[in-house]
Structure 1
Amino acid sequence: MLLLLTDDSVSRIRQANRVFWVEVTALLVALTTTTILIFSYGASPGTALPSYSFLPFALLIWSALRLGPRTTALACLTFSLVALWFDTSFVAAGTGDGLADVGALGVFLLIATVSALSSAAVIAESRSDTERLAESERKLREVMKLAPIGIYVADKEKYSFTNPAGAKIVGLSSPEEIVGKSVMSFYPPEGQAAAQQRIDSLVDEGSGSRPRMVNTVVDADGNRRVVEAMATAIRWEGRSSFLVMVNDISGRKQAEDAMMRAQKMEAVGQLSGGIAHDFNNILGIIIGNLELVQDMAADRPEISERIELALKSVNRGASITHKLLSFSRQKTQATKLTSLNAIIDNMQELISRSLTAAITVENRLADNLWMVDVDPGEFQDALINLALNARDAMPEGGSLVIAAENTKLDAEYVKLNPLAREGEFVMISVADTGVGMEPDVVDKIFEPFFSTKGEGKGSGLGLSMVYGFVQRSGGHIKVETHPGKGATFRIYLPRARRTVAEASPKAQTPVAMLRGTETILIVDDEADFTDIAAHNLGFLGYTVLSASNGSEALEILRTNPYIDLLFSDVVMPGGQDGYQLAVEAHKMFPELKILLTSGYTQRREHSTSGDETFIAKLASELLSKPYNRRQLAGAIRRALDAGG
């Protein structure tokens, strides 16, 4: 490893070396001087040692404390040599016995040397332990600074350390901003008592750890984040503390929650579609019978009036099931290349009239907005529903801003929003300054019949229809809201790829009470529905046969090859639905005209083997239940008159 030293580092090293050698020289001079004094002036036989005779001990101990074992050994050697030289010099000169006999001097020097070297060794070991601990702590700090997860060290009261990742998790730019803060600084109020109890318990134990757990923290901007944390008790800077490793899983949790919501919405959609199918069958039977009674009571205006009221109520019920199906349906019925700017501009007056005078409406539409391939009517319904939702969130008035712009969704966005996909989109946002929503409300707002309004103030299907439209259009919807801070709904619709020529709509024959004389085979497992359809078609001049399932229908077709039209429900028991029956019948009789009907508009063309073009044509011409006599007449006539 290459070690690079700056000029400043080299200067400090040189200064430290100079100080060291000055101290060593001063020590040796002091030892020599005090030894000379002892043996020159205080070493007469029979006299007491002067008080400064113990000064070498103090110098040796200082050496042990300050300069370490090696320098202390040098000091002891110097002291011993000078002492022995002087003592020998006194004896040789005949001035006396020196400090004492040789044995006494040896004991004196041995005690001084052993004491000094022992002290130096103990101090060096202690210093080495301290230095190793300090070095270990320094290395630990360096490692923790580089860690990709947040690491925090704290005692019961305040933080002592964190790393850059830890600062980022709580929305701060520097770790130093956290040091000294209360350990409760980043816990939400409702979680502080439990968190403090866990911390106190861990620090008091002084050892052990706590299992991984998921917590909610509040960052410096007040945003809540979901983190995964694991804590252990440690000693830090001489205090009982704890170390906690934190991984911010807000993105992962958001993705998991989004996926769970998507699965829930799919399940609710399937349930809603099934319920709507059953209700449509019931409503269709009611409509058919009411129309029959209306024919019978044509000369009784008081009865006809009551029947008309009943039909209006049934149609209201059909409208509700239509909304349910709009939520559950997977494909749009009629799309076209659409300029959303034009629609939003044209709807501004309508939206303003739908709101209160205390709400201001502003459009912020980007120029050169991409075209989208959607059902314009459904987009208008979605925009109106979002505007009405905003109105209800601003009972005291406020501001509604509708914006549109081109945008691109990248892989990072899709990672956090699993229902989205990468690509180019037109983003439409509807932002209000209303009361906002709690997180638990946001999780449910797109569910059918969920509403925060009082009883009788809404069907709870408005936002469900918005959700269904966005899903069918291949888009994505996202809600951003906080209590008291309003809400913003962002709809992402994919940029259209087909040309204007490809998107030109086909001309449609107006629905009329058209008649005919052809033979029609009705297939439906609902006997009452079959009866009503047969009666209406007979009234229109057709010859009618009926079957209750696919197998029975195929047998009738084999024995009656003159049948002109197969009119079948889609959802039937027995393992063969309307699409599968249509494929079999088409193979047997390629010239046979086929019309399907259903109260559940979720398409099944991908679950059926056969000619995809043929299946797609059947799906596009499907007659939705409930239908009235006029709608039935028009659909039957168009099917019979269509080309092969």
Structure 2
Amino acid sequence: MSQGLSLSTRLTIAIVALVVATAGTVGYLSYRNIAGVAVPRALVRLDAHTRSVAVELADIVNDVRADLTGFRDVIGLEEIIALSRDPGTREAGGQTLAQWRARIARRFAAELEAKPHFAQFRIIGAADGGREMVRVDRHAENGRARIVSDADLQQKASRGYFRQAVAAPDGAVLVSPIELNQEYGRIELPPQPVIRVLTPIYAPDGQWFGLLIVNIDLRPAFAAIKSHTSPDTSVYVVNDRGDYLVHPDPEREFGFEFGMPFRVQNDFPETAAALASGEPRQPELVEHRGGTRYGLALASMRLGGGPLVSVIEVIPEEKIVALALQALRDSSLLGGTIAVLCAMLLAFVLARTLTRQLTQMTAAVAGFAQGKPLLVPLNAGGEIGVLARAFQNMVQEVGEKTTAIRREKDVFQSIMAAMAEAVLLIDAEGNIVYANRANQELLGPIELEGTGWRELYDIYQPDGTTLLPRQHWPSARCLLGEQVDGFELVCRRRDNGKSIHVMGSAHPIRDAGGALSGAVVVYRDVSAAKEIERQLRQSQKLDAIGQLTGGVAHDFNNTLTVITGTAEILIENLADRPGMQQIAKMIDEAAGRGAELTKHLLAFARRQPLQPRNVDVNTLVLNTAQLLRPTLGEHIEIESMLGNDAEPAHIDPSQLSTALLNLAVNARDAMPNGGKLTLETGNVVLDEAYAEANPEVAPGPYVMIAVSDTGTGIPAAIRDKVFEPFFTTKDVGKGTGLGLSMVYGFVKQSNGHIKIYSEEGYGTTIKLYLPRASAEAEELAPTAPIKGGSETVLVVEDDAMVRNFVVTQLRSLGYKTLMAANGAETLAQIDAGASFDLLFTDVIMPGLNGRQLADAVKQRRPGTKVLYTSGYTENAIVHHGRLDPGVLLLPKPYRKSELARLIRAALNAEAGADADTGPTVETMDRAGS
């Protein structure tokens, strides 16, 4: 007790002495003149801080300006210029235009990652309406650098900075005013203040090629200005008109962008002159429009030699004085604090010997809480020793349990990380407790706090369109105690629209007492499998249509052959009876329409016989455009944009002309009030990246023909159905729905690729990618004159009506004829010694087909001349969509003139006749038209 009293006495004496000293210090400081010194010093500090902020803001733009000058010499820019102006050029590196663009894009992405103020790099070309060639920006979700795909590149010729770059000389660097980004025609949300630094790009020959542009995101800089501002002051950043760019109240920032300008001269009238002149201004006390006096400092700076920006910082006069008084109070508190600390130090020194073991115990416990080894005084006596030894035992037991728990956690984390299935654990309130890596990869990062994660997604039934109510979600059902196995649904993120098709199960989790404590949801992504399944169903559907088409074409074309020929005879013999002759012409026209319908069906099913050749696409497109002008009408403007270096395509020219006609007619129907039809050609290379996105495409060089219109466009809901047969949006009787399906089938059968681009209300573009030819384009053979003959033709046809009709037509042309109904009857006549000059046989027959019969006849009589006819060839004489070499085919239905030409050509084919009389599929089609 005496020691305690002694310690208390000494501590009291020390504290009283220090308090007396502190009181004397406070009394001394109070004599100083506060107001007379505080205001000038505050204004000096305000001016220094304002100038520092202005210089830092200008340095950001100056650094970007310097970087942009360096980027003009980036490796690959000259190669892009050369390849864009001449796609056939190959640089020393041997890389394509797409590869050079990708290389520069990766360089820009690295710069973007390294410099937080950079928001976007772009190279914009002068061609194609100022289309972006390279764009690298920051991802909206994670802020990482992102290389924008070709499909998302845009035209920027209408932007003001594009027109500025066109007028700028080589080497110039332009800096835009600070504004809210509106690259997509609207202010981005959240608003993004940007300043653009750009420089024109000129080719070596001095021709303007495009521009290089960098967007600076000023949000970090503006946020730093606000965060580094004292609570007692207000900082504003304004443009040369005084519009607020930075303001303590965000609602007043960039008001001029929304039609409600807020300007600093309206709040501080005395700043108007300084803003107008841009001259430096000394800090001073000014009056606010409300009558309050403020200390104000203003510093103006041109950002990169471009726009004038001013930084203004103000502080109320009463705050300056209050801060000085606060300094007085702080000094007093400082003196008091020093006194208290000294008193505590004295007390510690005096009481150290009395509290050493207790202090050691406290320090050991505090260190253990921070993960340090436990060093308690185990040998201490009394209550301290008992407490130390008990605490040591408890720590050992807790450590063993913690190690076991940590080991189990590591095993759990390893298993979850290795699982291909996504795993989600939620508690009884619906909060996410755990989501493994597969879950994060499938659906993206999710918030693990609260139930707000549910607002990130929409869940649909397997059809992908029927919204699943939240109470029916597998996780919600589990939290009600239900076990959900084998569920199937579609999960779609609301922010980016990404969808995945998943299958899985969900089980409730119960604690040791059986109470529901949460749920575990396990699922896997089956989107790829569902897509393959859809493609398989589509392929099976098309194959089924193809089989049906074959059967219909064979029988229907036989019937049409007789109808067409009979109608021709009637038309010739009814010249003196105009009324009846008109009826015969109607029959002939109807038969022609039926033949065209069958031809479209065969084209879609990819079973029409093609005879491809090397075709000059520019010549074909020009000829087609001339034919289209009377068809489309005067209200449709036709424009041809032909690539000067377009290579020949290896394609059936007749089928290609028909395909272009179909596309043009569809475009006309989409422009009932008039519009513009554009035909474009050029060389393209579809790279590996394009082939990955379109699996049916083989990467490589192609010849492109594009047909574009300015019509109504195609709604997104039906855009995937336009190539299906019999699908049409036209009124009943105004379309068969086979036009686009015929084009689709023809292009696919020709080993090409077709792509449709459309936006409702803005028009449609359909691009045909055709295989390039390996040689020069061929000239078309002239049509041979029609003539008959006196040779003998052996006609083999299983349809009696068609057989009798053909024999009648051949005899009218002067030929002698023999007839047979099938292969067996034909061989019997030959074995009996029948003499003939030409075998004219149907392809599809019971027993021996036409090709098998021809082979059997040639074994008996080598050198026999053969002409095939069929409404559906299957695979007898057509393979991979091409007629077999040396094969002549007369497609059903046919007219008398076509029959005469092909019979004559077949008889002359091996007799040394002029090659010009040798028919092609194209010659036949022209004759038939």
Q: Same fold judged by TM-score > 0.5?
A: yes
Q: Which residue of 2 aligns with 1:182?
A: 453
1:643 aligns with 2:643: no
**Residue from 889, 892, 898 that aligns with 1:622:** 889
**Residue from 858, 861, 869 that aligns with 1:597:** 869
After TM superposition, give the deviation of residue 631 of structure 1 in Å: 2.5
Distance 2:810 2:578 in 1: 25
Distance 1:391 1:229 in 2: 49
Q: Which residue of 2 aligns with 1:380?
A: 657
After TM superposition, give the deviation of residue 310 of structure 1 in Å: 2.1
1:581 aligns with 2:885: no
Distance 1:111 1:197 in 2: 57
Identity %: 32
**Residue from 619, 632, 637 that aligns with 2:899:** 632
1:71 aligns with 2:343: no
Distance 1:577 1:149, change over 3 A: same
Q: Which residue of 1 aligns with 2:291?
A: none
Distance 1:540 1:361, change over 3 A: closer
After TM superposition, give the deviation of residue 498 of structure 1 in Å: 3.1
**Residue from 583, 586, 593 that aligns with 1:316:** 593
1:563 aligns with 2:821: no
**Matched position secondary structure for 1:583:** helix
Whether the aligned pair in 1 keeps the contact of 2:475 and 2:519 (CA below 8 Å) is no
Q: Which residue of 1 aligns with 2:788?
A: 515
Whether the aligned pair in 1 keeps the contact of 2:671 and 2:712 (CA below 8 Å) is yes
**Matched position secondary structure for 1:79:** coil
Distance 1:360 1:132 in 2: 76
Q: Which residue of 1 aligns with 2:703?
A: 426
Which protein is bigger by CA-based radius of gyration?
1
Amino acid at match of 2:818: L
1:264 aligns with 2:541: yes
Distance 2:424 2:680 in 1: 43
Q: Which residue of 1 aligns with 2:391?
A: 116
Amino acid at match of 2:886: K
Distance 1:158 1:338 in 2: 66
Distance 1:561 1:404, change over 3 A: same
Distance 1:162 1:120, change over 3 A: closer
Spell out the pairing of 1:46-445 with structure 2 (5 A cutoff).
62=365, 66=369, 71=374, 74-75=376-377, 77-80=378-381, 83=382, 112=387, 115-125=390-400, 127-128=402-403, 144=417, 175=445, 182-187=453-458, 190-193=466-469, 197-203=473-479, 205=481, 210-211=485-486, 213=488, 215-218=490-493, 220-222=495-497, 224-226=499-501, 240=518, 242=520, 246-247=524-525, 249-250=527-528, 253-294=530-571, 297=574, 299-330=576-607, 333-344=610-621, 347=624, 366-393=643-670, 403-410=680-687, 413-414=690-691, 417-430=694-707, 434-438=712-716, 441-442=718-719, 444-445=721-722
Distance 1:110 1:450, change over 3 A: same
Distance 1:614 1:418 in 2: 28
Q: Which residue of 2 aligns with 1:548?
A: 821
Amino acid at match of 2:477: S
**Matched position secondary structure for 1:617:** coil
Distance 1:241 1:356 in 2: 67
Distance 1:151 1:450 in 2: 43
Whether the aligned pair in 1 keeps the contact of 2:423 and 2:520 (CA below 8 Å) is no
Distance 1:56 1:401, change over 3 A: same
Distance 1:585 1:164, change over 3 A: same
Amino acid at match of 1:596: Y
After TM superposition, give the deviation of residue 525 of structure 1 in Å: 0.6
Whether the aligned pair in 2 keeps the contact of 1:335 and 1:376 (CA below 8 Å) is yes
**Matched position secondary structure for 1:498:** coil
Distance 1:341 1:57 in 2: 95
| Worse-matched range after superposition: 464-473 or 625-634 | 625-634
Q: Which residue of 2 aligns with 1:452?
A: 729
Between the two proteins, the alignment pairs up a number of residues equal to 548
Whether the aligned pair in 1 keeps the contact of 2:638 and 2:677 (CA below 8 Å) is yes
Whether the aligned pair in 2 keeps the contact of 1:409 and 1:422 (CA below 8 Å) is yes
**Matched position secondary structure for 1:581:** helix
Whether the aligned pair in 2 keeps the contact of 1:57 and 1:112 (CA below 8 Å) is no
Distance 1:111 1:395, change over 3 A: farther
Distance 1:497 1:218, change over 3 A: farther
**Matched position secondary structure for 1:604:** coil
Amino acid at match of 2:554: H
TM-score norm. by structure 2 comes to 0.51
Distance 2:448 2:624 in 1: 51
**Residue from 475, 498, 512 that aligns with 2:752:** 475
Structure with higher helix content: 1
Whether the aligned pair in 2 keeps the contact of 1:262 and 1:419 (CA below 8 Å) is no
Distance 1:134 1:616 in 2: 71
The RMSD of aligned alpha carbons is 4.6
Whether the aligned pair in 2 keeps the contact of 1:284 and 1:625 (CA below 8 Å) is yes
Distance 1:643 1:157 in 2: 84
Distance 2:841 2:734 in 1: 39
Q: Deviations over 1:550-587 (max 9, x none)?
A: 0100111222342122111111012x111111111122
Distance 1:165 1:401 in 2: 48
Whether the aligned pair in 2 keeps the contact of 1:596 and 1:623 (CA below 8 Å) is yes
Distance 1:115 1:378, change over 3 A: same
Whether the aligned pair in 1 keeps the contact of 2:651 and 2:771 (CA below 8 Å) is no
Distance 1:395 1:65, change over 3 A: farther
Q: Deviations over 1:484-538 (max 9, x none)?
A: 78655332211111344xx44445423x2x3332222111110111111112222
After TM superposition, give the deviation of residue 642 of structure 1 in Å: 2.9
Whether the aligned pair in 2 keeps the contact of 1:526 and 1:548 (CA below 8 Å) is yes
**Residue from 485, 490, 493 that aligns with 2:770:** 493
After TM superposition, give the deviation of residue 409 of structure 1 in Å: 3.7
Distance 1:296 1:352 in 2: 36
Distance 1:555 1:63, change over 3 A: same
Q: Deviations over 1:282-324 (max 9, x none)?
A: 1122233344555665554443332233222222222222222
Q: Which residue of 2 aligns with 1:99?
A: none
Distance 2:902 2:481 in 1: 80
Distance 1:584 1:129 in 2: 86
After TM superposition, give the deviation of residue 544 of structure 1 in Å: 1.8
| Worse-matched range after superposition: 453-462 or 183-192 | 183-192
Distance 1:366 1:467 in 2: 23
After TM superposition, give the deviation of residue 187 of structure 1 in Å: 2.4
**Matched position secondary structure for 1:600:** coil
| Worse-matched range after superposition: 344-353 or 515-524 | 344-353
Q: Deviations over 1:71-91 (max 9, x none)?
A: 36x42x2323xx4xxxxxxxx
TM-score norm. by structure 1 comes to 0.70
Distance 1:434 1:129, change over 3 A: farther
Q: Deviations over 1:99-128 (max 9, x none)?
A: xxxxxxxxx789646643454345445655
Distance 1:367 1:134, change over 3 A: farther
Distance 2:734 2:849 in 1: 39
Distance 1:113 1:418, change over 3 A: closer
